[in-house]
């Protein structure tokens, strides 16, 4: 019998990381989860800690990655991802995205492992091309407040491409579009946790800007499936992973209200600096090279997410989330 395949998941205690670790373990991989818990939580991997083959290492990837032994893949999810988090930790975000990514690339190179970089639709910035295809270079303000994240992720892509060219490293880049689902922090400031917690509380829903800006929302297990296909394939990317159903923020807010059964007023807040006006992935490349497409319909994904958030609330309001 062959040995068990072994993967490092950096940022494994985050929202996506927790789901990815669980999926990989279920698929028979051994998983080393490396996380400094800056935005992640033990809760996201609590159910995995006793699973054979799971190791949890509290560590900052900026200081190198002390993992020994053979590795089949290194997946880099380690970076604050919610605007609220990276605007609060701008320098840490730049460090994680630059020095941290380089340290993980060195680990992959030393072990001959495949490296998968979680990049983002934010590399397209406020896009001038719609929908966004992988050969579009983006429209990013390099000195705006969001640049720590957007440019950090662009650096990460450049680093993968350089390691591939210079060292023949086996790197694959996925550009992940807005993903939502159980496991997000209620207070992480992203669209779905905001809307769902506000609607469950029965209060007004806050919308930044006009609400006419669009988002394409992908359910977490679909995104994770795309990541696993990238880990198991050999495509260099970049490959968009996202749901191509595009809705305005106002439409999304109404679906959330509808599912929870409340009709509270919508309150407009000032638009966020450099907030993209449109977002919609062209996913034909993912379909062709990964055989991937999202499977979960928005209402079904939101139902599961609402149930998750409701379970963490006061029991008196929890039943609204079913
Ligand atoms: P998250 O904040 O929940 O997870 C990030 C994880 O990385 C956290 O557990 C955090 O503690 C850890 N981390 C941060 N800096 C670290 C460091 N220096 N050393 C070790 N660990 C560190 O965010 P998420 O939504 O799970 O996103 C995961 C990855 O996917 C991020 O790289 C993000 O850029 C990318 N991504 C996510 C989305 C999305 O919609 N969720 C979209 C595009 C890209």
Does residue 207 lie within any of the structural domains?
no
Does residue 80 lie within any of the structural domains?
yes
274 vs 266, higher pLDDT: 266
For 181-242, where are the E strands, in sequence order?
A: 205-208, 214-216, 218-219, 239-241
**pLDDT tens per residue, range 215-270:** 999 999 999 999 999 999 999 999 999 999 999 999 999 999 999 998 888 888 88
Does residue 238 lie within any of the structural domains?
yes
* The pLDDT value given to residue 322: 32
* The pLDDT value given to residue 1: 53
Does ligand 1 have an atom closer than 6 angstroms to the CB of 120? Answer: yes
* The pLDDT value given to residue 4: 92
With CA atoms as reference, report the closest residue to 102 among 166, 51, 156, 23. Answer: 156
**pLDDT tens per residue, range 20-70:** 999 999 999 999 999 999 999 999 999 999 999 999 999 999 999 999 999
Percent of the chain residues past pLDDT 70, beyond the cut: 97
For residue 149, report the distance from its CA to the centre of ligand 1, in Å.
11
Say if residues 123 and 147 touch (Cβ distance below 8 Å). Answer: no
Say if residues 223 and 241 touch (Cβ distance below 8 Å). Answer: yes
CA 113 – CA 74 distance, rounded (Å): 6
Of 86, 124, 149, 180, which is the active-site residue? 149
- In a 3-state reduction of DSSP, which class is residue 178? coil
Q: Are strands 214-216 and 246-248 parallel, antiparallel or unpaired?
A: antiparallel
Say if residues 47 and 14 touch (Cβ distance below 8 Å). Answer: no
**pLDDT tens per residue, range 102-160:** 999 999 999 999 999 999 999 999 889 999 999 999 999 999 999 999 999 999 999 99
Reading the block at residue 89, the tokens are 């930790």
CA 172 – CA 1 distance, rounded (Å): 28
Does residue 270 lie within any of the structural domains?
no
Spatial CB neighbours of 112, under 8 Å, sequence gap ≥ 6: 71, 170
Does ligand 1 have an atom closer than 6 angstroms to the CB of 305? Answer: no
Does residue 191 lie within any of the structural domains?
no
What is the position in ligand 1's atom list of the atom closest to the CA of 80? 2
Our count of domains for the chain comes to 1
For residue 301, report the distance from its CA to the centre of ligand 1, in Å.
20
* Residue 125 Ramachandran class (φ > 0 left, ψ -120 to 50 alpha, else beta): left
* The pLDDT value given to residue 274: 73
**CATH classification of the domain holding 234:** 3.40.50.720
Does residue 300 lie within any of the structural domains?
no
Does ligand 1 have an atom closer than 6 angstroms to the CB of 16? Answer: yes
* The pLDDT value given to residue 190: 87
* The pLDDT value given to residue 316: 38
Does ligand 1 have an atom closer than 6 angstroms to the CB of 44? Answer: no
- Report CA torsion sign: 175, 179, 182, 185: positive
pTM for this entry: 0.94
For ligand 1, pick from 9, 15, 237 the residue to mutate: most ligand atoms within 8 Å of CB.
15
133: containing domain: 6-180+218-243+280-295
Does residue 163 lie within any of the structural domains?
yes
Statement: residue 83 has pLDDT above 70? yes
Does residue 204 lie within any of the structural domains?
no
Reading the block at residue 289, the tokens are 């090279």
With CA atoms as reference, report the closest residue to 105 among 152, 23, 168. Answer: 168
What is the position in ligand 1's atom list of the atom closest to the CA of 37? 11
């Amino acid at each position: 019998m062959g040995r068990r395949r072994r993967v490092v998941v950096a940022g494994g205690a985050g929202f996506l990381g927790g789901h990815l670790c669980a999926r990989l373990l279920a698929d028979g991989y051994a998983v080393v989860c490396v996380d400094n818990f800056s935005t992640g939580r033990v809760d996201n991997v609590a159910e995995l800690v006793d699973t054979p083959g799971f190791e949890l290492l509290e560590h900052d990837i900026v200081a190198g990655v002390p993992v020994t032994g053979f590795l089949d893949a290194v997946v880099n999810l380690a970076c604050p991802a919610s605007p609220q988090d990276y605007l609060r930790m701008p320098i840490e975000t730049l460090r994680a995205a630059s020095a941290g990514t380089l340290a993980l690339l060195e680990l992959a190179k030393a072990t001959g492992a495949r490296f998968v970089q979680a990049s983002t639709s934010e590399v397209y910035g406020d896009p001038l091309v719609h929908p966004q295809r992988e050969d579009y270079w983006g429209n990013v303000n390099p000195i705006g407040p969001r640049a720590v994240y957007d440019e950090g992720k662009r650096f990460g892509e450049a680093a993968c491409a350089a390691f591939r060219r210079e060292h023949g490293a086996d790197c694959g880049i996925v550009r992940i579009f807005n993903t939502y689902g159980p496991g997000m922090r209620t207070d992480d400031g992203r669209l779905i946790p905001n809307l769902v917690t506000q609607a469950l509380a029965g209060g007004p829903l806050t919308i930044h800007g006009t609400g006419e800006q669009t988002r394409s929302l992908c359910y977490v297990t679909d995104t994770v499936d795309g990541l696993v296909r990238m880990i198991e394939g050999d495509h260099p990317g970049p490959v968009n992973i996202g749901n191509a159903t595009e809705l305005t923020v106002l439409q999304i807010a109404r679906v959330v209200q509808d599912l929870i059964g409340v009709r509270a007023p919508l309150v407009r807040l000032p638009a966020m600096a450099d907030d993209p006006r449109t977002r919609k992935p062209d996913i034909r490349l993912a379909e062709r090279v990964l055989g991937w497409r999202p499977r979960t319909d928005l209402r079904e994904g939101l139902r599961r997410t609402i149930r998750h958030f409701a379970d963490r609330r006061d029991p008196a309001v929890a039943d609204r989330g079913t």
